[in-house]
Each structure stands twice: as structure tokens, then as C-alpha cells.
Amino acid sequence: MKVKIESDQWCPLIKKKCVGSKCSWFTHIRGENPQTGEDVDEYSCAVSWLPMLLIENSKQQRSTAAAVESFRNESCTRTDIMNNLLSGAQMMIQEANIEVEEPDK
């Protein structure tokens, strides 16, 4: 069901009929509806766009969170590998009885 604001509809902001393109809040939106996937290319009241834009914002935040989590997991994996390598090198040094000089401070 698609409902559009027509110029004769009631506006709760000015408490009279919608003035359409004369209103500062009358906005052009072009993109994709996040719920249906349909292309959107129309003018309407910015207040009426808010639910769709909030849904799109949530969708983008979930996508960003997934990317950050993936990056975190990869960083943890690499850190574990590096720690294992350093641990192995330290054990080899201890087994070989090699003394490592501490740098002068």
C-alpha cells in the first residue's frame, strides 16, 4: 500500500492543509526503499520520510557493525598469531641459553 501526501491533505505542523512545494519541508528523495527494494524518486513531506529514513539508517548501522566485528575478529586472529610466534622465539632463545642484552636506558 503506497500513500502519498497530496496538496489537499492536513498538515499537523501548520494545522491546515498541506501547502506542498511551497513548504520548506517538502523534500525530494531518490533511492531505494529499504523495506521493499523498490526505487523511490518522489517529492513528499520530510516528516513523512522519517520512518523510511530511520529504517535505512538502522540497516546501514547493522552493516557497519558487521564490518567492524569482522575487522575485530581478523585483528584478534593476527594478534594471536604474532603472540604465538613471539612466544616460540622466546622459548627457542631460552632453550639455546642465549643471553639477550637489554638496551641501555
pLDDT above 80 for 74: yes
Amino acid at 48: S
CB-based contact 22:7 (threshold 8 Å): no
The whole-number average pLDDT for the span 44-58 is 92
pLDDT band at 4 (very low <50, low <70, confident <90, very high): low
pLDDT band at 94 (very low <50, low <70, confident <90, very high): confident
CB-based contact 29:47 (threshold 8 Å): no
pLDDT above 70 for 100: no
pLDDT above 70 for 105: no
Cα separations in angstroms, 23 against 18, 26, 36, 76, 80: 8, 5, 28, 52, 58
pLDDT band at 81 (very low <50, low <70, confident <90, very high): very high
pLDDT band at 99 (very low <50, low <70, confident <90, very high): low
CB-based contact 50:44 (threshold 8 Å): no
